[in-house]
Amino acid sequence: MATATLPGMVQPARSLQLFSRLIGGDIHAYDVASGSFGLLSPAAVFQPSPGDDVVDHTVSADLERAVYTTLNAAVCVTRDGTEVWRSAFEPLSAERYGHKPSCTLSLDDRVAWVYRPDGMAGRNRPDQWVILDAQTGGLIAQADLETFGHGGLHYRHPAGEHLLLDVGEGQDGLTIFRGALDGSRLDLVRYPWNDRSLIALTPGGDHFMTVHHEQTDVAFHTYPDGDVTLELSLESFGYDLEEAGVEYSGGYLTPDTAIVAIAGETEDEEEWFRHYSVDLRSGQIEGEFEGHAEDPYDVEPLGDGSWLTTDPSGAPIRWSAR
């Protein structure tokens, strides 16, 4: 039975479980590697530069710097609010909606990866994936993705060398890329689909999870090849497309257990959702998973048997099934 206990001190440590949330306009950094549960307290808080509307954000392992994106720039600030560098997306976009630049830091904090949805921003070119020097903001490498996405999500591989990027192009589908910095060049691989959304990587990085763009199934793949090891249709969970869909959420509760979200509407147009746990060794759906969630996206598995939900203020709550 899942329990939430009183929060303890969160100590800085290098971990894929270091994450940030935007709360009240500030970037709050958390590290769950310490084993704290319940309502988590931030280990650091960063104030964006005056006038900046933060779109995406990430923090360094030593919790001394935050990197964030606005619609027109990538920015680095320190804990005392000092702006270290700013890398403008030129030409500046007059578009206010439909494009969300995103960012993340490499596991060694040496470089910042930035996805620029330049097509939707009206810059008259396809999207760009950019690598910046995390200390100076200087350009190291850049690649043309040949996509016109609204946004992109970064997934850091635990081995540290590669990143995955999931680009959403609305009705045109989704594209998944794998990238690595090779000297001054971005080594880029495009996976051979335009209809699968990347959801999560296993804690060890040897598999990843996707959901079909039309929300008809969930699949699990080997990394890096992308070969499918298990595919579960919506019907496997006891639903059909007229009543439900597989949501673009969930992930790996443990290396061998995945959480899948199903959502739909009743005949009275009332929305509902359920989470299910899947045994990846047997391929069996174990049953409903009680995640204490407010919506189908409010369960974020951490891979170690615990997961996050969010309180009304936007702060994370950590739960455990143990």
Q: How confident is the model at residue 6 (pLDDT cuts 50, 70, 90)?
A: very low
Supply 257's token pair.
């257990």
Residue found by looking up tokens 């990538």 in the block: 74
4 band by pLDDT with thresholds 50, 70 and 90:
very low
In 10 A of CB 33, how many CB atoms? 17
On the 0-12 / 13-18 / 19+ scale of CB atoms within 10 A, 320 is: middle
In this prediction, residue 9 carries a pLDDT of 24
Q: Please tell me the distance from the alpha carbon of residue 147 to that of residue 52, in angstroms, as a whole number.
A: 26
Phi, psi at 32, each rounded to 5°: -90, 5
More confident position, 74 or 159: 74
Q: Is the pLDDT of residue 191 over 50?
A: yes
**Cα–Cα distances in Å, from 280 out to 30, 201, 232, 239, 284?**
29, 13, 11, 20, 7
Q: Do residues 31 and 42 lie in contact, with contact meaning Cβ atoms separated by under 8 Å?
A: no
Between CA 116 and CA 69 the distance in angstroms is 10
Check if the beta carbon of residue 148 is closer than 8 Å to that of residue 137: no
Which amino acid belongs to residue 122?
G
| Residue 77: how many other CB atoms lie within 10 Å | 21
Give the architecture-level CATH label for domain 47-194: 7 Propeller (2.130)
Where b means 16+ CB within 10 Å and e means fewer, 102-128 reads bbbbbbebebbbbbbbbbbbebeeebb
Mean pLDDT to the nearest integer, 212-231: 98
Instruction: pLDDT band for 302, please (50, 70, 90 cuts).
Output: very high
Q: 14 is written with which tokens?
A: 């290098």
Whole-Å CA distances, 295 to 3, 11, 213, 235, 310: 19, 30, 19, 21, 10
For residue 156, the Cα-to-chain-centroid distance in whole angstroms is: 9
154 bridge partner residues: 165
Q: What integer pLDDT is reported at residue 16 of this predicted model? A: 61
How far is Cα 117 from Cα 125, in angstroms, rounded to an integer? 9
Q: Which two tokens stand for residue 5?
A: 């206990």
What residues contact residue 31 under an 8 Å CB cut-off, 6+ apart? 10, 11, 12, 13, 15, 17, 18, 19, 43, 63
1: pLDDT strictly greater than 50: no
Q: Is the pTM of this model over 0.85?
A: yes
Q: What is the pLDDT of residue 8?
A: 26
Instruction: Report whether pLDDT(3) > 50.
Output: no
Beta 44-46 vs 26-31: how paired, if at all?
antiparallel
Phi then psi dihedrals of residue 241, to 5 deg = -65, -20
Per-residue pLDDT at 43: 95
pLDDT at 188 over 60: yes
Predicted pLDDT at 253: 97
- So what's the pLDDT on residue 14? 36
Map residue 172 onto helix, strand or coil: helix
pLDDT score of 244: 97
pLDDT tens per residue across span 12-23: 223 467 999 999
Structural tokens at position 278: 């899947």
For residue 304, the model assigns a pLDDT of 93
Check pLDDT > 50 for residue 10: no
Task: Read off the pLDDT of each residue in 32-57 and give the average, rounded to a whole number.
Answer: 94
